[in-house]
Amino acid sequence: MDDITKKWKDARADIEAPSGSVDALITSARKKKKSVLFFHYGNIIILTMVLIMISAFFFYLTPFRDLLSKTGVAMMVFGLFLRIIIEGFSAIKYSRIQFTHDVSAATNETVSFYKFRKTIYGPVTIAIVTAYIAGFYFLTPEFSRYIPLIWMIVMDVLFIPGAIILAWQIRKGILKEMRILSALIELQGQLNKS
């Protein structure tokens, strides 16, 4: 009888965890979670450095006087600040998901986080990037008083490929994070079956 019970348990374990043991799934989920958190922390560090440099440039080197220019600076600085806050909130929200306690709850929290990030990457990111670009061009009238016309044209034209490269990098990061989150949800589903 013990032999039959052992065979049944072994067969059940093979069916329930076909792609590896539960421990392997949990280890994989933790690695992916760490990767997502490093992505958020990396974004926070980079965005904070850019915010500090831009703020220092605008407040110490080129204190603007026109309302349009001040509005442009505010749009650029506030957009970066808002993005840092969102990344910080995302990191906190994601770090609270526990994979080993209640698998069903962890799956629901991960799916909820995934939907939250998709929302952030949709209209929120588009609005922030659009405000940042508009803010940059709001600086042009006042810059044109201090910079020769040819250099203003060069600066305004070169900003376009810079914005395209920035958008491409943002998209690349988004796709990477979405792949990791999708894999985590799949792992969560496998853990649910175990």
DSSP readout, 107-172? HHHHHHHHHHHHHIIIIIHHHHHHHHHHHHHHTHHHHHHHS-HHHHHHHHHHHHHHHHHHHHHHHH
How many other CB atoms sit within 10 Å of the CB of residue 91?
18
Q: Which two tokens stand for residue 65?
A: 């006087």
pLDDT confidence of residue 157 = 92
Distance CA 118, CA 133 (A): 22
Evaluate whether residue 122 is within a structural domain. yes
> pLDDT tens digits, residue range 138-191?
999 998 888 898 998 999 999 889 888 877 887 887 787 778 777 767 766 666
pLDDT confidence of residue 65 = 87
Query: What is the secondary structure of 164-194 as a DSSP string?
Result: HHHHHHHHHHHHHHHHHHHHHHHHHHHHHH-
Evaluate whether residue 2 is within a structural domain. no
Confidence of residue 8 (pLDDT cuts 50, 70, 90): very low
> pLDDT tens digits, residue range 10-66?
444 444 444 456 677 677 777 877 887 888 898 899 989 999 999 999 888 888 889
pLDDT confidence of residue 79 = 92
Evaluate whether residue 5 is within a structural domain. no
Evaluate whether residue 59 is within a structural domain. yes
Domain that holds residue 26: 22-193
Residue 63 DSSP symbol? -
pLDDT confidence of residue 188 = 66
Lowest mean pLDDT among 76-85, 103-112, 114-123: 103-112
Evaluate whether residue 10 is within a structural domain. no
Confidence of residue 84 (pLDDT cuts 50, 70, 90): very high
Evaluate whether residue 6 is within a structural domain. no
pLDDT confidence of residue 94 = 85
Q: Computed from CA positions of residues 157, 158, 161, 166, in that sequence, does the dihedral angle turn out positive or negative?
A: negative
pLDDT confidence of residue 3 = 47
pLDDT confidence of residue 194 = 59
Evaluate whether residue 8 is within a structural domain. no
Number of domains in the chain: 1
Evaluate whether residue 87 is within a structural domain. yes
Lowest mean pLDDT among 20-24, 71-75, 123-127: 20-24
Judge whether 110 and 188 are in contact, CB under 8 Å: yes
pLDDT over threshold 80, residue 93: yes
User: How large is the average pLDDT for residues 115-133?
Assistant: 85
Which residues are within 8 A (CB) of 80 and not within 5 positions of it... i.e. 6 or more apart? Answer: 47, 50, 51, 54, 132
Residue 57 DSSP symbol? I
